[in-house]
Amino acid sequence: MRIRHVEVSPVRLRLREPYSIQYETVEEATNVFLRVETEDGKIGWGCAAPDPLVTGETPEAAEAALREAADWLRGRDPLRISLVAHAIEKKLPRAPSARAAVDMALHDLLGKAAGLPLFVLMGGYRRSIATSVTIGIVALEETLRHARERVAEGFRILKVKGGKDWREDAEKVIALRRELPPGVRLRFDANQGYTAQEALAFLRRIGKGTLEILEQPTPARELLALQEVTRKASLPVMADESLLSLRDSFRIAARSLADMVNIKLMKVGGLVPARKANAVAEAGRLETMVGCMDESRVAIAAGLHFALAHRNVEFADLDGHLDLLDDPATGAPLLKAGRLSAPNLPGLGVDVKL
């Protein structure tokens, strides 16, 4: 099997409603789609979701990187995924979301060549997983409205964004806990907005049993601050922006900097490095969550297959596709009552019409 044709297509995706996090407000997202076709007519899909503040890439840079990768991919054997992943990492060291697009397109082809859903090929640990759904930084009443709407839609895990003012964040979390049914789980993501002292004050204010997880409370590179919060917190602390590579996964595990890690395919460069980072986390007895950016169903499906395949990936935050109005992809993931599953189709289980 050889690759005969590669296409790169950037697509601007409007959001149903703009949202804010600690360091930016998002109104639209650009995803760069990759279509890889083999000599026998099989098609693999990949998708890059670049973000200058997270992956270090602009959409233009990701597109340029994928066009460079496309020239190299033509004529290659797409089933030699490990070889290709190593070569692309050396070729595009500063383009993790572009590498992720190549990686997932090849995995899509692998599943189609085998005639099996990708998660089955990678291990097939579970059939479905509950996902959180995110509420951005908005006023208290709007936060409560969003929460009620999401619960009515069937979601039972809410992730609340904050990090600008720990006192306001604490009051918001307390109000949510009072408002929501006991079965709804709350997670909080400060997106690097607190000092260690502010994070601990926030936790003292909300009290025990209010939150399930505190995600990235302190700046990504201030690892001692993250470690301090982890050691003193009364609930699990998750590293997100502090994990951008396999080396970061090892550092977090070896130094007990966090209790959990959030692995995003766009940050680490695809499924091959994500599986390695998860193995390192598991060896260090850290649980893993698979997260996402503002991503098409193509990329969300890849993250879902990763979660379904591996026992240690116990948490999912795969909601990045839900508010995209112009997504050209259909199919996986399937959503029912807040749980995601993959269709019984080969590869990623997505179809894309550009």
Residues 129-176 pLDDT 10s: 999 999 999 999 999 999 999 999 999 999 999 999 999 999 999 999
| Domain residue extents for the chain | 3-115, 119-352
Is the separation of the CB atoms in 158 and 132 below 8 Å?
yes
Decide if 161 is catalytic: yes
List 89, 103, 108, 189, catalytic entry: 189
58 phi/psi in degrees, rounded to 5 = -85, 165
- CA 147, 259, 19, 336 torsion-angle sign: negative
Is 3.20.20.120 the CATH number for 119-352? Answer: yes
- Here the tokens at position 317 are 């935050």
* Catalytic member of 103, 228, 240, 294: 240
DSSP state of 324: B
pLDDT in single tens digits along all 354 residues of the chain? 999 999 999 999 999 887 888 777 788 999 999 999 999 999 999 999 999 999 999 999 999 999 999 999 999 999 999 999 999 999 999 999 999 999 999 999 999 999 999 999 999 999 999 999 999 999 999 999 999 999 999 999 999 999 999 999 999 999 999 999 999 999 999 999 999 999 999 999 999 999 999 999 999 999 999 999 999 999 999 999 999 999 999 999 999 999 999 999 999 999 999 999 999 999 999 999 999 999 999 999 999 999 999 999 999 999 999 999 999 999 999 999 999 999 999 999 999 999
Active site residue 228: no
Kindly report the number of other CB atoms within 10 A of residue 155's CB atom. Answer: 23
- In the chain, the amino acid numbered 186 is L
Beta-bridged to residue 339, according to DSSP, are 130, 336
Question: Distance between CA atoms of 97 and 132, rounded to whole angstroms?
Answer: 22
> CB count, 10 Å around CB of 144?
18
Phi and psi at residue 17, in whole multiples of 5°?
Answer: -150, 125
DSSP assignment of 86-116, as one string? HHHHHH-TT-HHHHHHHHHHHHHHHHHHHTS
Q: What is the pTM assigned to this prediction?
A: 0.96
Q: Is 264 considered catalytic here?
A: yes
> How many whole angstroms separate alpha carbon 141 and alpha carbon 3?
53
Write b or e for each residue in 304-317: b if 16 or more Cβ atoms lie within 10 A of its Cβ, otherwise e. bbbbbbbebbebbb
Q: Whole-angstrom Cα distance, residue 109 to residue 305?
A: 14
Whether 217 and 194 have beta carbons less than 8 Å apart is answered as yes
Strands 213-215 and 237-239: parallel
Tally the residues of the chain.
354
- Catalytic residue (choose from 63, 108, 169, 215): 215
Catalytic-role residue among 161, 172, 241, 267? 161
What distance in Å separates the CA atoms of residue 300 and residue 288, rounded to the nearest whole number?
A: 16
CB atoms within 10 A of CB 247: 11
| Angle (nearest 5°) at CA 256 between 103 and 225 | 100
Rounded to whole angstroms, how far apart are CA atoms 211 and 37? 46
Q: What is the pLDDT of residues 193-235, one digit of tens each?
A: 999 999 999 999 999 999 999 999 999 999 999 999 999 999 9
Number of neighbouring beta carbons within 10 Å of residue 30: 18
Residue 138: CB atoms within 10 A of its CB come to 17
* Residue 91, token pair as written in the block: 């070729």
Class of the 3-115 domain?
alpha beta
Is residue 232 part of the annotated active site? The answer reads no
